[in-house]
């Protein structure tokens, strides 16, 4: 049996989205080996649940944030002697470590994502991550920081970059898509994220600050921010105070099915963050042949080649951000060339098939070692 421990599967966000794609990869891996799978999700609504990913229907059990019931079920599953358990967040590593006591032959894998491992974890959590057989990170930057801050044996670490989902097939023939509900006409700079107060570092406020500088040269430009969260009222207040509130559009309730169309109808994607472990939204925009602008920090430079498929900017440098946006808005051929380079990279490095094959190789290597 292959077991997956998830913090959450049915909510918005990069970690949640990577969890869904990992679940799909684990289902494929289990099928290739003729094994069953069992997925447990701590924070999803309690009960038997399922979701559709591509053509696959993936089943899991939700525990409604009940840690006691989640741990009890995990230990019950461990008594069935699973071969591999994959924890999709270091917060779940202690549960996996407890399962290994009940199933000594079980191999354990922990995913780390970004900022949560860029400083030492609490002692129990750090010990549990150290006890895993493999630690997977989406970028070399996060892997290196995790090794240093969590004092990991470097030989346990592997890079496994996140991938595009089936709805972002970079090899698909482009087709005209309708405007998503509420999407404005004109020249659009798009940003997508979870606008949580704890994630205010993503730079949407800097995009709002850059907009008045751009409007002096590009009077038809607009900023669209897709996503919801506790920081949204602050961002909306900043937009009202910017002097150009009618040029900033917030679309908090866009569905994942509508998101590809949002990328299609923008000219530039930008998220000038100071601390992404990876940045799934960058590769989604690249799969729609859009140039991308991100922060020159964390794992983002491993996605964006500065000056080739987009630009990297210093966090908080609004003048530099406005300059790079202006370069792309002013030059159609540059924008199209960078978009073509971005699409080429998405096709080469970030397909789900590439991710699934690498995940399977890591798990096979683990069992053979």
pLDDT digits (tens, 9 = 90+) for 297-344: 999 999 999 999 999 999 999 999 999 999 999 999 999 999 999 999
pLDDT of residue 245: 81
pLDDT number for residue 47: 97
Is 90 exceeded by the pLDDT of residue 275? no
Q: Per-residue pLDDT for 173 more than 80?
A: no
DSSP letters of 255-282?
-TTTHHHHHHT-SEEEE--S--SS-HHH
pLDDT in tens, 174-227: 788 899 999 998 899 999 999 999 889 999 999 999 999 999 999 999 999 999
| Structure confidence at residue 126 (pLDDT) | 97
pLDDT score of 244 more than 90? no
Q: Which of the four pLDDT bands, split at 50, 70 and 90, describes residue 67?
A: very high
Q: What pLDDT, on a 0 to 100 scale, did the predictor assign at position 175?
A: 80
Spatial neighbors of 262 by CB under 8 A, at least 6 apart, are 180, 183, 190, 192, 224, 226, 251, 254
Q: Look at the block and give the residue holding tokens 């994942």.
A: 256
Domains contained in the chain, CATH given: 2-163+351-368 (3.40.50.2000), 168-348 (3.40.50.2000)
- pLDDT exceeds cutoff 90 at 54: no
Mean pLDDT value of segment 36-56: 95
DSSP code of residue 306: B
Average pLDDT over residues 157-181: 89
Q: How far apart are CA 298 and CA 142, in angstroms?
A: 7
| Chain center to CA of 262 | 17
pLDDT category at 29 given cuts 50, 70, 90 is: very high
Note the residue count of the chain. 369
Rounded to the nearest 5 degrees, what angle is found at the Cα of 86, between the Cα atoms of 84 and 87? 150
Q: Cα–Cα distance between 107 and 86 in angstroms, integer? A: 9
| Predicted local confidence at residue 166, as pLDDT | 86
Contact 141, 234 (CB under 8 A): no
Q: How far apart are alpha carbons 92 and 64 in whole angstroms?
A: 15
Question: Which of helix, strand or coil describes residue 56?
Answer: strand
pLDDT per position as a tens digit, 359-368: 999 999 998 8
Residues 6 or more apart whose Cβ sits within 8 Å of residue 138 = 18, 113, 114, 159, 160, 161, 162, 277, 278, 299
Q: Between residues 329 and 243, which one has the greater pLDDT?
A: 329
Check residue 172 and give its pLDDT.
83
pLDDT at 13: 85
Does the model's pTM come out above 0.85?
yes
Helix (H, G, I), strand (E, B) or coil at 87: strand
Mean pLDDT, residues 50-58: 92
Return the pLDDT at 14: 87
Tell me what the mean pLDDT of segment 41-56 comes to. Answer: 94
Could you give the CA distance from residue 131 to residue 125 in angstroms, rounded to a whole number?
10
Question: Which residues are 136's β-sheet partners?
Answer: 111, 158
Residue 77: pLDDT over 90: yes
> How high is the pLDDT of residue 138?
97
Confidence band (pLDDT; 50, 70, 90) for 257? confident
**What mean pLDDT is predicted for residues 161-185?**
88
pLDDT of residue 369 exceeding 80, the answer is: no
Asked if 137 contacts 143 with a C-beta cutoff of 8 angstroms, the reply is yes
Residue 243's pLDDT band (cuts 50, 70, 90): confident
pLDDT of residue 177: 86
> What pLDDT, on a 0 to 100 scale, did the predictor assign at position 12?
83
Q: pLDDT tens, 83-140?
A: 999 999 999 999 999 999 999 999 999 999 999 999 999 999 999 999 999 999 999 9
- Strands 268-271 and 187-192, sheet pairing: parallel
Looking at every residue in the chain, the average pLDDT score rounds to 95
- Euclidean distance between the first and the last CA atom of the chain, given in angstroms as a whole number: 19
197 by Cβ neighbours in 10 Å (0-12 / 13-18 / 19+) ranks as exposed
CB 7 within 8 A of CB 19: yes
Q: What pLDDT is attached to residue 240?
A: 93
∠ CA 33-37-39 to the nearest 5 degrees? 150
Measured on CA atoms in the order 211, 214, 216, 221, is the torsion positive or negative? Answer: negative
């Amino acid at each position: 049996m292959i077991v997956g421990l998830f913090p959450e599967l049915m909510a918005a966000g990069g970690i949640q989205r990577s969890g869904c794609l990992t679940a799909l990869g684990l289902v494929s891996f289990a099928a290739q080996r003729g094994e069953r799978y069992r997925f447990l999700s701590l924070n999803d609504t309690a009960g038997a649940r399922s979701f559709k990913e591509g053509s696959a229907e993936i089943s899991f059990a939700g525990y409604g944030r009940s840690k006691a019931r989640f741990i009890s079920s995990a230990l019950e599953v461990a008594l069935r002697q699973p071969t591999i358990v994959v924890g999709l967040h270091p917060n779940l590593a202690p549960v996996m470590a407890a399962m290994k006591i009940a199933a000594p032959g079980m191999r354990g894998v922990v995913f780390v994502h970004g900022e949560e491992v860029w400083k030492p974890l609490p002692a129990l959590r750090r010990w549990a991550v150290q006890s895993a057989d493999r630690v997977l990170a989406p970028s070399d930057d996060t892997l290196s920081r995790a090794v240093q801050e969590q004092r990991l044996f470097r030989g346990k670490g592997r890079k496994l970059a996140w991938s595009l989902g089936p709805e972002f097939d970079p090899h698909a023939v482009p087709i005209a898509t309708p405007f998503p509900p509420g999407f404005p006409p004109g020249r659009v700079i798009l940003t997508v994220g979870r606008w949580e107060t704890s994630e205010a570092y993503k730079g949407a406020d800097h995009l709002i600050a850059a907009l008045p500088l751009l409007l002096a040269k590009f009077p038809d430009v607009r900023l669209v921010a897709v996503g919801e969260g506790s920081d949204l009222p602050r961002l909306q207040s900043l937009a009202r105070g910017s002097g150009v509130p009618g040029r900033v559009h917030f679309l908090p309730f866009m569905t994942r099915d509508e998101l590809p169309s949002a990328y299609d109808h923008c000219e530039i994607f930008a998220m000038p963050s100071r601390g992404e472990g990876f940045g799934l939204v960058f590769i989604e925009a690249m799969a729609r042949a859009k140039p991308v602008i991100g922060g020159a920090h964390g794992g983002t430079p491993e996605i964006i080649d500065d000056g080739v498929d987009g630009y990297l900017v210093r966090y908080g440098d609004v003048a530099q951000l406005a300059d790079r946006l202006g370069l792309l808005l002013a030059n159609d051929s540059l924008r199209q060339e960078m978009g073509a380079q971005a699409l080429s990279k998405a096709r080469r490095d970030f397909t789900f098939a590439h991710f699934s094959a690498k995940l399977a190789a890591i798990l096979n290597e683990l069992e053979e070692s």
